[in-house]
Amino acid sequence: MGKDLSIFGTTITASFLQRKLRTTFNTRCTFGPQFSIQQIGCKQGFLSVTVRLLFDWQGDDCARLPTSLVLKIPSTEILAKNIRCTTPEETQEQHDRLAMILKVGHASETAFYQLARRDAHLMGVLVPMCYYAQHFRRSGSQSGLLLFDDLCDMGAVKPLYNGLSARALRAVFEQLANLHAYSLTNWTWHIGADKMLRSTFLEVQQAFPLITRHRIYRTIASLQQDFGNFFLVHNGEASLLDELAAAVEDQLASHNGQLVHQQLGMVSVLTHGDLWTNNILWRKVPDSDGETFDEIIALIDWQNAHAGNVAEDFVRLLGSSVDPEVRRGELDHLLEYYHECLLAKLRERNVHGIPYTVEQIKHAYERFFGQICVE
């Protein structure tokens, strides 16, 4: 491809990438004629364009350079295509909110990977190696980007329609126990990266309820107009749609991590924020047609990373990526298993107590589950 052509409609060009990579890897090598780019993760993410870079390095020290990397570029293109507004002003308002969410989400993800690289031996969480991160639309620069190790040959996501098995879920809960043990024993993340993670998430939280409320109320109004009679109860004196609107308002008001922390007396932990099937890479079965083991290669897409409640990732994962029968049947076992894993991880760090009980975690889980239904 031409070195000055943009990559899949973004502001990133091959020549720009070459300059950044030569600096990152301290090399004078250049892209050869066989350099190519493949888009990956199509229809799996909504806030980025992700591509695989296949290199044909030319130069004296090219043998030490990676043969491929994964490039992630923040973009609202996919979400913007699905915006349905009635006026130009409303469309612009939604685009502005999406742009804000994109900006702070990329800032959070960049902060997380900087933290993960610095504290890799302490965190113990499987994440891709991030070689370079650039903030989104920094003054005088091109768009934000992240450059990762290429895990495409060894890892893949599991199909959403299959649902995660109890065994796979235990593997995820082990990773979360590692993350939370790190959170509870290394308070430097509160001093450094947490300031970025916390502030950006609060900004996003302020925008998401507005977007969610607008979308849901518009749907309720449409149902009222077209099918209102079907929702009447008590001899036509009340409507279930009014009850639905009240429930939505209640869930939007109560879904606040700090509120749950205060009411249940729970300590905040580092939280993924968007943990579902498409953000978990599993080891591929060799010579198979997309099959995977229940062995995690990496947790990816940390755009919503923040200081949150221990139950948030449980709710997102179990509410989106698990068959209802498995979720209901395994919930108590999974929470007990997580609690045991967390205690073991804390003991490895010479800490012999957990700051919350299984009952507190389950109560928080129930509080957050309603918000997932609203979203």
Statement: residue 267 has pLDDT above 50: yes
Residue with tokens 């957990």: 354
- More confident position, 229 or 154: 154
Which residues, including other chains, have CB under 8 Å from residue 45's CB and lie 6 or more apart?
A: 78, 278, 301
Banded model confidence at residue 146, pLDDT cuts 50, 70, 90: very high
| pLDDT value at residue 347 | 96
Q: What average pLDDT does the segment 294-308 reach?
A: 93
DSSP state of 192: T
Q: What is the pLDDT of residue 140?
A: 42
Q: If DSSP codes are grouped into helix, strand and coil, which group holds residue 27?
A: coil
Could you tell me which of 255, 262, 250 has the C-alpha nearest to residue 312?
255
Closest CA to 310 of 275, 351, 277: 275
- Give me the CATH topology for the region 155-374: Aminoglycoside 3'-phosphotransferase; Chain: A, domain 2 (3.90.1200)
Q: Which residues pair with 13 in a beta bridge?
A: 6
Segment 201-216 mean pLDDT:
60
- φ and ψ at 216, to 5 degrees? -70, -45
C-beta atoms surrounding 213 within 10 Å: 15
List pLDDT tens digits, range 14-40. Answer: 999 999 999 999 999 999 999 999 998
Query: d(Cα 59, Cα 28) in Å, to the nearest integer?
Result: 7
- Residue 349, pLDDT > 60, answer yes
Least confident piece of the model among 28-42, 84-98, 144-158: 84-98
Q: Closest by alpha carbon to 173, among 318, 284, 360?
A: 318
Structural domain boundaries in the chain: 14-148, 155-374
Whether 342 and 181 have beta carbons less than 8 Å apart is answered as yes
- From the list 306, 326, 327, the residue with the least C-alpha distance to 372 is 327
The more confident residue out of 233 and 153 is: 153
pTM score of the predicted model: 0.85
* Tokens encoding 340: 């045991």
Of residues 205 and 324, which shows the higher confidence score? Answer: 324
How many angstroms separate the CA atoms of 83 and 265, rounded? 39
Tokens of 143: 């768009």
Range 176-191 average pLDDT:
89
Contact 71, 17 (CB under 8 A): yes
